[in-house]
Structure 1
Amino acid sequence: MKKVLSVLLIMVLLTSAILSGCGRQEQKTGEKKEIVVAVNSETGGLDPAGMIALTYLSYSVSALDELLTYNEKGGIEYRAAKDYEVNKDSTVWTFHLRRDAVWSDGTPVTSSDFLNTMVRALNPKSGNGYANYLFPIKNAEAIYNGKAGIDSLGVETPDDKTLVFTLEKPCVYFLDLLRLPVYTPSCVKYAKKTDSGWDKDPSTSVSNGPFYLAEYVPEQYFVLKKNPKYWNAESVKLDQITYRFFDDQQSMANAYETKEVDVAPALQSSVMKLYEGKEDLVITDTIATRYIYPNLNVKPLDDVRVRKALNLAIDRKELCKAIGEDTEPAVNLVAKYMKDKSTGKYFVDEAAPPFEENLEEAKQLLADAGYPGGKGFPTLTYNYPSLEMDSDTAQVIQEQLKKNLNISIKLNAQELQVNYTERRAGSFDLCRMNWTADFADPYTYLSMLLSNSTYNCSGIADEKYDALVAQSDQETDPVKRGKLMHEAEQLAVGGEFYIIPLFSMKSCNLIRPRITGITQNPATGALEYRHADIQ
C-alpha cells in the first residue's frame, strides 16, 4: 500500500518542459507580486465566532490580527494591541489597542469588535468549536450553558481602545489563548449574526490584518489583497494571495507541476522522493496528532477493555510504513513535536509512553469483555474524510483489526465537511480525528478531552481527569505543572483509552524557490505568508 503518484502526475513530471508555456506564468519584473496557494477542500466559514475549520485557518493567518502572539524565538509580537498589564494574581488582564488600527474599509478597530466575537461565540447555536477556550473568563462557561446572562461576562470595554479580561482564576497560558479565533475581532458594523453570509461577502468581510478578502468563489478559490490601511502595511511585500481549493493532495501536486499554484503544502510523502535534492521541496515538522475517537455512547466502546484492546492490537509501525514516510508512530495525544517551553525538550519525551502495543494482551482483554476470538463482536463503522492518507489509514486499520482480533470494521468515507459535522454531532462509532496545535502549550491537546470541551464529541466525562487539568492550569511552577499534565495524559490515553492515537506527521511542501519570507507558525507548524516576498 505504498503511496505513489498517479500516472497523470508522472506524465506531467516527464513533460513539464513542454508544458512550461502553459498555465501560470513566472513573475516578471515590475508586475504585481502575487502567489497562488493550494488548500485541501473547503470547510467551514470565515467568521471567527462561527463554525470554522481549515478554510478559516488559511484565511485568518493573513487577514486577521490577534491582540498579540509569540514569534519563533518565544518573544511576544504585538499586533492589534500595543501593550498590556496584568494584576498580581494574574486574574485581570488589560490590553491597550493600537490607536492607528483600522479595518480595511477605514472603520476604527475597537475593543467592542473583540467583545463582539466572544459574545457571539458563547451562543451554542454558533457551532464554534473554540468556545470552551473562553471559559477561563469569568462567567463565560455559565453563559455558554445558559446559566448566566451575557452581561455578566468578565470582559469590559471602558473605552474604544481598552479591553479588560477578568478571569475566574489564574490561567498560566492565557496569553497563548489570544491567538485563537474566539479572541480575534469581528467588526460590529457587519458581523451581527453567525451563518448570515457576511463573512464570505467581500463588501462586509473586512479585515484588520495585512490582507483583506477581495473575492470568494465557493468550492473554487478565494482572493486576499494587500490591505493598504493596515497599520504596518509597509512591511507587507505581496500584493495578492489566492487560495485555490482542491479535492485531494494528488490534484494539489499536479497543479504545482503545471504551475497553476506556487505553493502546495502538506502533500503525500511520495513527493519527497520525486523532489529530492530540489529547492522546491521543504520538509517541516507538523505539531499534530492523527487519532481515532471511539464513541463512549456506543456499545461495546463504553467498555474500557474493548478500547484498550483496539489500541494494543494496532501495529503503528506497520501502519506508518504503509501510508508514507512523512508519518511516525504515536501513542500520545500531545503531538510529538510540541516542545516544553521550560525545558526546550519535546513534551512527550519527558515521560514514559502511555501504553505499549501488545497483541496477546489485546486478545485477552477482548475475551474478558465477552468477545473471545472476536466472536459476537458487532460490526463498527469507521467514519473518515475521503482524503488519500485517511483512506489508506482506514484500510490498514480495517485489515489489522480483522487479522489481529477477528473483528469487522465497516469503512465510511465522507466529504471533509460532512465528516466534521457528524463528528461534532456525535453521530459515529469510530471517527478519524486530527488535531494541529492551536497554541504552544500541551493544554491545546488536553483540553480536547475535558467534560466541558466543545470538541469532546465522544461522551467523555471524567472528573479525575478534569481535576488534574484544572490543577495544571493554575500551577506556576513549570516542573510541577509538567508533572500534572503528564499524569492527565497518562490517565486519559493509557488508563481509560479515550482515544486511539495513530501517528504524528511531517509536512511535505512544494514552494517556488523565488518565494522568500514564508515562515512557520511556531504554535502549529503551519506555513504563514504574511511576510512572504517574491525575488
Structure 2
Amino acid sequence: MKKKVSYFLSLSVAVSMLLTACNSGKDEKDTAKDTDKKLPQVLNLIGPAELPGLDSGTTTDAESFNVLANVMEGLNVLGENDEVKPGIAESVDISDDKLTYTFHLRDAKWTNGDPVTAADFEYAWKRAADPKTAGEYAFMMNALKNGEAVTTGKAKVETLGVKAVDDKTLEVVLAKAIPYFDSLVTFPTFLPLNQKFVEAQGKDYALEADKLIFNGPFELSEWKHNTSYQLVKNDDYYDADAVKLKEINFNIVLDEQPKVNLYERGEVDRITLSAEFVDKFREDPNFDSFLEPTVFFLRVNESKNPALKNVNIRQALNKAFDREAITSVILNNGSVPLTGLAPADFLTAKGEDFRKASGDLVSFDAEAAKTAWEQGLKEIGKKEVKLELLGSDSDVNKKISEYLQGEFQKNLPGLSVSIKTVPFGQKLDLETAKDYDISFGGWGPDYKDPMTFFDMFITPSSFNQMSFSNAEYDKLIAQAGGEYLTNPEKREEAFLAAEKILVQDQAAILPIYQRAVAYVQQPKVKGLINHNFGADYTYKYVEIKN
C-alpha cells in the first residue's frame, strides 16, 4: 500500500451527484426507490499524485496499487475489516504440511475476451520474480519454492514453485509454511497477467490506458498523465451484478485549498483534511477520522554523504526534533508520534500491542542530540555538515520538511539543511538510485505481519535504499522468516530486537509519525471499504443512494 511503498497522502474519494425529485403519486416507499435509481452512479475522486506505473510486476507505490486493486483481481481479495475472501480462486486445497496450495479458479475473463487461466498467474509470478524484470517487489516471490534463488539470479525462473496444472488449477509450492499466505496473495504483485497481451505491447505495456487489459470490477478507460484518470464498470467482470458504480473519475489536485473548495461547491463528496481545515470541519456531521497502520520516517542514506555513515551523527538527527509538534500542530488530524518502526493498533508482541511491547525507542532531547552531534563531528573531523532533505511536492510534506529543517539547524550547530521537493514519482526514482542524503519516506503494510515492515531493511532488500547493513539485524529477520515461524514467542522477540537495532542503536531510520486520516464525506456514498494493508480502498461495493 503502502503501501504499500513510499507514499505520503492517502487517496481522497469524492462524488458529485444530481438529484431530481418528482411527485409521481406513488407511495413513499416506491418514491424513495425511484429516487435512488435516478442518482447517477458516478464517483468523482481526487488523486493526490500522478500514477507512477500500473505494471503489477514493477509497481511500488500506493496510488498505483489502489487503481490496480480495483481494475484487476487476484486469487484472493480483501473485504470488510480486511477479511480475506475468494477472488479469481473459487476454492483452495492446502496440504497437511501447509506447503502446497492448490487453487481452483472460477470462470472469469479479461476485457479482451480471453479467459483468465492458471497460466496467467504462473506467467505473472515468474515474470515478477525474474531479475530481468527488475521489480522491487520481486522478493515477495521468495515465499515460493526456489523463490530466493530465482529472484537473486541463482536459479532459472522455470524452477519457481508455481505451476498451471490446467486452465482452472494453479499449484503453488511454498519454500516454508507461511501463516499469512492467504492474505499475501491479495497483494498486487500476485495479480495475473495475460502473456499474449503483455508481450504484444512490449516496452509500452501499462504506460497508457489502452496498453492494459483488466479482469477486475472496473477498467481504466482514460489516463491523462499528471491531470486525471478514469475507471468505468467492467461489464465482463464475473461479479458485475454486485458493481453499482458506472464511472469513477480521478482528478489530480495537489494543494489543499482547492480540494476544500471543490467539496464546499458540492463537486467533490469526500476529501481528506490537512491541519488547517480539520478544526473547520470537526463539528460537521460528515467529519470522521481513523488511525492507519501507515508510518512515516526519514531514510538516512549512508552511501552518498560521508557524514551520514557516522552513527553519532544519525543518532543526533534522531533526537533533534519534536514529533509531538508535528502531529499536534502541522498535521492536527489524529496522527500520533512514532517512536519505532512498527505502528500501534495493528500488530502484537508478548501478548500486547507491538508498539507498547517495544516501547519508545527514540524521543526528542535537544541536549542529548547536541552531545551526539559534537561527538560525531569530532569523529569525522569536521565542524560543519551540509545535508539535503528530499521530499514530495505536496503541501503537508513541504510543511514538515520546513519544520525539520528549522529544528535540525537550531539544535545541531554547524548543520546546514537544504530542502529538495519533487513530484512523487521522481522522489521514488531518486530513492531507488540512492541519489539523496535524507528522504521523507512512508510505508503502509502489504499484509498483516511484522515482516512487512522489517524485511525491507535487510542488506539485500530492494527497498533498503540507503545502504544500511547490519549482520545482527539480517540474522534476526532471517530467523523470524525461517526457523522461528513455528515459534511465535521467539519470532516476536526477534522482531523487537531488530527494531531496537534499526531505530535506537543504529538510527538507520528516523521515525516521525503514524498517520491518521481526517476526512469529510457526504452520506450518499455507501459501501466504501478502506483497508489497513495492501491497497487503500475497495470501490466494488460503492453505491450512490439516499
After TM superposition, the score normalised by the length of structure 2 is 0.87
More off after superposition, 495-504 vs 521-530: 521-530
The answer to whether the aligner puts 1:530 opposite 2:522 as a matched pair is no
1:321 corresponds to: 328
1:383 deviates by 0.7
| Structure 1 residues 426 and 27: CA distance shift in structure 2, 3 A | farther
The number of residue pairs the alignment matches comes to 510
Match of 2:472 among 460, 464, 470: 464
Query: 1: CA distance between counterparts of 2:217 and 2:45?
Result: 17
Cα distance per residue 1:22-41 (max 9 Å; x no partner): x9552454254111110101
Q: Are the equivalent residues in 1 in contact too, given 2:40–2:544 (CA < 8 A)? A: no
The answer to whether the aligner puts 1:215 opposite 2:222 as a matched pair is yes
Q: Are the equivalent residues in 2 in contact too, given 1:213–1:225 (CA < 8 A)? A: yes
The answer to whether the aligner puts 1:431 opposite 2:439 as a matched pair is yes
Match of 1:476 among 465, 483, 486: 486
Match of 1:515 among 502, 517, 525: 525
The answer to whether the aligner puts 1:109 opposite 2:116 as a matched pair is yes
3-state SS of paired residue (1:403):
helix
1:224 corresponds to: 231
1:204 deviates by 4.5
| Structure 1 residues 373 and 112: CA distance shift in structure 2, 3 A | closer
The answer to whether the aligner puts 1:279 opposite 2:285 as a matched pair is yes
Q: How does 1:397-476 map to 2 (within 5 A)?
A: 397-406=404-413, 407-474=415-482, 475-476=485-486
Match of 2:50 among 33, 42, 47: 42
1:494 corresponds to: 504
Q: Are the equivalent residues in 1 in contact too, given 2:84–2:182 (CA < 8 A)? A: no
| Structure 1 residues 256 and 296: CA distance shift in structure 2, 3 A | same
3-state SS of paired residue (2:315):
helix
Cα distance per residue 1:280-334 (max 9 Å; x no partner): 3231222211111111113111111211111112221223333121232111111
| Structure 1 residues 379 and 68: CA distance shift in structure 2, 3 A | same
Cα distance per residue 1:471-503 (max 9 Å; x no partner): 222423433322222122122112211101111
3-state SS of paired residue (1:199):
coil
Q: Are the equivalent residues in 2 in contact too, given 1:90–1:170 (CA < 8 A)? A: yes
1:75 deviates by 4.2
Q: What code does the residue aligned with 2:135 have?
A: N
2:399 corresponds to: 392
Query: 1: CA distance between counterparts of 2:212 and 2:512?
Result: 38
| Structure 1 residues 152 and 450: CA distance shift in structure 2, 3 A | same
The answer to whether the aligner puts 1:26 opposite 2:22 as a matched pair is no
Stretches of structure 2 that go unaligned for 5 or more consecutive residues are 1-14, 21-34
Q: Over aligned residues, Cα RMSD in angstroms?
A: 2.5
Stretches of structure 1 that go unaligned for 5 or more consecutive residues are 1-22
1:388 deviates by 1.1
The answer to whether the aligner puts 1:85 opposite 2:93 as a matched pair is yes
Cα distance per residue 1:78-123 (max 9 Å; x no partner): 111112222233322222211x222233311111212222232234
Q: What code does the residue aligned with 2:542 have?
A: A
1:168 deviates by 2.4
| Structure 1 residues 411 and 74: CA distance shift in structure 2, 3 A | closer
Q: How does 1:17-166 map to 2 (within 5 A)?
A: 25-28=17-20, 29=35, 30=38, 32-73=40-81, 75-98=83-106, 100-124=107-131, 126-166=133-173
2:354 corresponds to: 347
| Structure 1 residues 382 and 124: CA distance shift in structure 2, 3 A | farther
Q: How does 1:289-308 map to 2 (within 5 A)?
A: 289-297=295-303, 298-308=305-315
2:383 corresponds to: 376
| Structure 1 residues 201 and 389: CA distance shift in structure 2, 3 A | closer
3-state SS of paired residue (1:368):
helix
1:199 deviates by 2.2
Q: Percent identity?
A: 25
Query: 2: CA distance between counterparts of 1:263 and 1:207?
Result: 27
3-state SS of paired residue (1:50):
coil
Q: What code does the residue aligned with 1:459 have?
A: S
Q: What code does the residue aligned with 2:403 have?
A: V
Q: What code does the residue aligned with 1:141 have?
A: E
| Structure 1 residues 74 and 59: CA distance shift in structure 2, 3 A | closer
Q: What code does the residue aligned with 1:461 have?
A: S
Query: 2: CA distance between counterparts of 1:356 and 1:194?
Result: 51
| Structure 1 residues 521 and 74: CA distance shift in structure 2, 3 A | closer
Q: Are the equivalent residues in 2 in contact too, given 1:366–1:373 (CA < 8 A)? A: no
Match of 1:269 among 275, 282, 296: 275
Query: 2: CA distance between counterparts of 1:341 and 1:306?
Result: 31
Q: What code does the residue aligned with 2:344 have?
A: K
Q: What code does the residue aligned with 2:146 have?
A: N
1:124 deviates by 4.1
3-state SS of paired residue (2:447):
coil
3-state SS of paired residue (1:189):
helix
Query: 2: CA distance between counterparts of 1:193 and 1:356?
Result: 54
2:5 corresponds to: none
Q: Are the equivalent residues in 2 in contact too, given 1:468–1:484 (CA < 8 A)? A: yes
1:255 corresponds to: 262
More off after superposition, 450-459 vs 141-150: 141-150
The answer to whether the aligner puts 1:183 opposite 2:183 as a matched pair is no
More off after superposition, 453-462 vs 482-491: 482-491
Query: 1: CA distance between counterparts of 2:467 and 2:19?
Result: 52
| Structure 1 residues 68 and 44: CA distance shift in structure 2, 3 A | same
Query: 2: CA distance between counterparts of 1:341 and 1:233?
Result: 41
| Structure 1 residues 195 and 247: CA distance shift in structure 2, 3 A | farther
| Structure 1 residues 87 and 44: CA distance shift in structure 2, 3 A | same
Q: Are the equivalent residues in 2 in contact too, given 1:43–1:54 (CA < 8 A)? A: no
| Structure 1 residues 511 and 197: CA distance shift in structure 2, 3 A | farther
Query: 1: CA distance between counterparts of 2:379 and 2:149?
Result: 46
Q: Are the equivalent residues in 1 in contact too, given 2:292–2:532 (CA < 8 A)? A: no
Query: 2: CA distance between counterparts of 1:403 and 1:181?
Result: 43
| Structure 1 residues 87 and 25: CA distance shift in structure 2, 3 A | closer
Q: Are the equivalent residues in 2 in contact too, given 1:381–1:411 (CA < 8 A)? A: yes
Q: Are the equivalent residues in 2 in contact too, given 1:269–1:508 (CA < 8 A)? A: no
